[in-house]
Structures are given as C-alpha cells and as structure tokens.
Amino acid sequence: MDKVTAEKLYEAFYMKVFSYVMTLTGDRDEAMEVTQETFFRAITTEKEFRGESESFTWLCAIAKNFFIDEKRRQSKMEELPQEERPDTAKGPEKSLVDADSSIRIHRILHAMEEPYKEVFQLRIFGELSFREIASIFGKTETWARVTYHRARMQIKERMEEQ
C-alpha cells in the first residue's frame, strides 16, 4: 500500500476503528495498542484489500482477529490482571454512583446473549451507525436496529428488576 493511500485510510477510519476496539477491550490503552496494530497490519500486509467489503469492515475484522489472538496468547501466559486506577476527575460521590450504575449495566451486558450484547456495545460504546453494525454482522440495517432495541429493552427490564 502506498503512503498516500495509507494516510487516507488512517485519517478516515482511525476513530471509528478505535471506538469499535474500545467495545472489545473496555480499556483505553489496550484499545489504542490494538488499533495501532490494526493499521500497521493493514498497511504492511502483503495481501491487498480486495474491495469485497467496505474498508471499515475490513479494518474491524483485522482488529477483532488481532484482539482474539492477543487474548489467547495472554491466557496461555496466565498474566495477572492489572489493578484498576481510580478516576480522580470526578467527585467521590459522583464516582460511586457512576461506578455502581456502570457495574450493574456491565453485569447485565455480561449475562446477555449474543448478538444482543455485541450489537448494544457496538452502538453505545463503539458509537457505530446501524448501517456499520449491519455490515459487520452481514445483516440488514433493520436487523441491527431491531436487535439493538431488544437489547436495550432487556437492559431496562433487568435494571428495573434490581
């Protein structure tokens, strides 16, 4: 891939790919690393983009495959999880309320069935359009909208039950 094409690809899709990767990792630093590796692989690979899908979909596939490979490698190494860093930007009361709600929502998401969980995460955390979500799953935009709506309703119901 020539330098001009690589720069255009990077400028056009960096934030979208980063947002998608954030839904996978849940960690900003890890997402930045995976995103950078995604573009590195896309730009330096000997296999050219064939144009069978959109560039964004192609980049997301590279990112997802790299992320899965890294998780497999890490699980084999049995690394200890890193300590969480406290968020000092907010007041302690607001942080506790936000953390509690966030944990409840993430627990609900964790228990959700696929594809509801991934569609919801792509839409909310990844800030992807329904068209982009549909493209990733190889489905229609209507399917993405309905799946997102059902996931949202499941979360709402489970939040009210708690």
Same-domain status, 63 and 96: no
Q: What is the pLDDT of residues 22-51, one digit of tens each?
A: 888 888 888 889 888 888 888 887 566 555
Tell me the pLDDT band of 152, cut-offs 50, 70 and 90: confident
Cβ neighbours of residue 60 closer than 8 Å, sequence gap 6 or more: 17, 20, 136
The mean pLDDT of 3-25, rounded to a whole number, is 86
Give a yes or no: residue 59 inside a domain.
yes
Same-domain status, 101 and 60: no
Q: Which of 113, 136, 107 is nearest to 123 (CA)?
A: 136
Tell me the pLDDT band of 88, cut-offs 50, 70 and 90: very low
Structural domain for 126, as ranges: 92-161
Tell me the pLDDT band of 1, cut-offs 50, 70 and 90: low
Give a yes or no: residue 85 inside a domain.
no
Give a yes or no: residue 140 inside a domain.
yes
Same-domain status, 23 and 68: yes
Same-domain status, 65 and 100: no
Q: CATH number of the domain at 113, please.
A: 1.10.10.10
pLDDT top residue among 125 and 35? 35
Cis peptide before 92 (omega within 30 of 0): no
Give a yes or no: residue 25 inside a domain.
yes
Same-domain status, 68 and 12: yes
Tell me the pLDDT band of 80, cut-offs 50, 70 and 90: very low
Tell me the pLDDT band of 97, cut-offs 50, 70 and 90: low
CA distance 53 to 14: 17
> Percent of the chain, pLDDT > 70?
80
Same-domain status, 52 and 109: no
Tell me the pLDDT band of 86, cut-offs 50, 70 and 90: very low
Same-domain status, 96 and 73: no
* Three-class SS of 62-126: HHHHHHHHHHHHHHHHCCCCCCCCCCCCCCHHHHHHHHHHHHHHHHHHHHCCCCHHHHHHHHHCC
In degrees and rounded to multiples of 5, residue 62 shows phi and psi of: -60, -45
